[in-house]
């Protein structure tokens, strides 16, 4: 007999671990007790939402800064204010998109009965208002605070982007006011 595996040995199907009913129930209790499924799923979704948020915040912030610099140089100060308002709408839409990402994920994972409940639950949880009662099934209860954490992180991030945008907005308002005063 040689140490080299034959082709037949290499092509044998891999044996799966098969649990009998008591072992399967024990494994399910272990997973539920340590909330591993919701921690893994929630962590993955949290990272996905944060990457999405980072991409969108960078795009909105850079576009606002680029557009505002051009408008300030052209002395079209009032248009900077308009761009600011549209950028705020874009920031809002980013959060709505993140609620949609969470909602779709928990609906597709079968954790919520229908998409409408998923949207309502996620919206209330993401904004940390609270849904009233936790509708997540047993073993998925940690997903609720993970959704809330994603909302807290992203709202804080949006606030920092908004504060940066406010600097140019204020600069445009002051410049517009000063340009009117000089005309008089």
In 3D space, the residue among 175, 180, 170, 177 whose CA is nearest the CA of residue 84 turns out to be 170
Helix ranges (DSSP H) in the chain: 7-10, 21-33, 36-73, 77-108, 115-126, 143-183
Which pLDDT band, with edges at 50, 70 and 90, does 2 fall under? low
Mean pLDDT within 96-105: 96
Highest mean pLDDT among 5-14, 117-126, 134-143: 117-126
Domain ranges of the chain: 35-183
**Gap between the Cα atoms of 139 and 72, Å rounded:** 55
Q: Rounded to two decimals, what is the model's pTM? A: 0.76
pLDDT at 97: 97
CA atoms 36, 157, 87, 129: torsion sign: positive
The pair of structure tokens assigned to 91 is 């920031």
Q: Which residue has the higher pLDDT, 153 or 14?
A: 153
């Amino acid at each position: 007999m040689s140490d080299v595996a034959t082709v037949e040995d290499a092509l044998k199907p891999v044996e799966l671990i098969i649990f009998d009913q008591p072992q399967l129930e024990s494994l399910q209790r272990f997973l539920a007790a340590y909330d591993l499924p919701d921690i893994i799923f929630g962590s993955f979704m949290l990272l996905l939402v944060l990457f999405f948020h980072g991409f969108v915040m960078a795009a909105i912030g850079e576009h606002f800064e680029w557009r505002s610099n051009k408008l300030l140089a052209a002395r079209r100060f009032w248009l900077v204010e308009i761009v600011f308002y549209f950028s705020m709408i874009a920031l809002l839409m980013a959060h709505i998109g993140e609620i949609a990402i969470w909602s779709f994920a928990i609906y597709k994972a079968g954790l919520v009965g229908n998409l409408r409940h998923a949207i309502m639950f996620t919206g209330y949880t993401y904004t940390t208002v609270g849904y009233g009662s936790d509708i997540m099934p047993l073993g998925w209860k940690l997903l609720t605070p993970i959704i809330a954490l994603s909302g807290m992180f992203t709202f804080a991030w949006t606030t920092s982007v908004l504060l940066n945008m406010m600097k140019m907005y204020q600069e445009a308002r002051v410049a517009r006011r000063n340009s009117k005063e000089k005309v008089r």
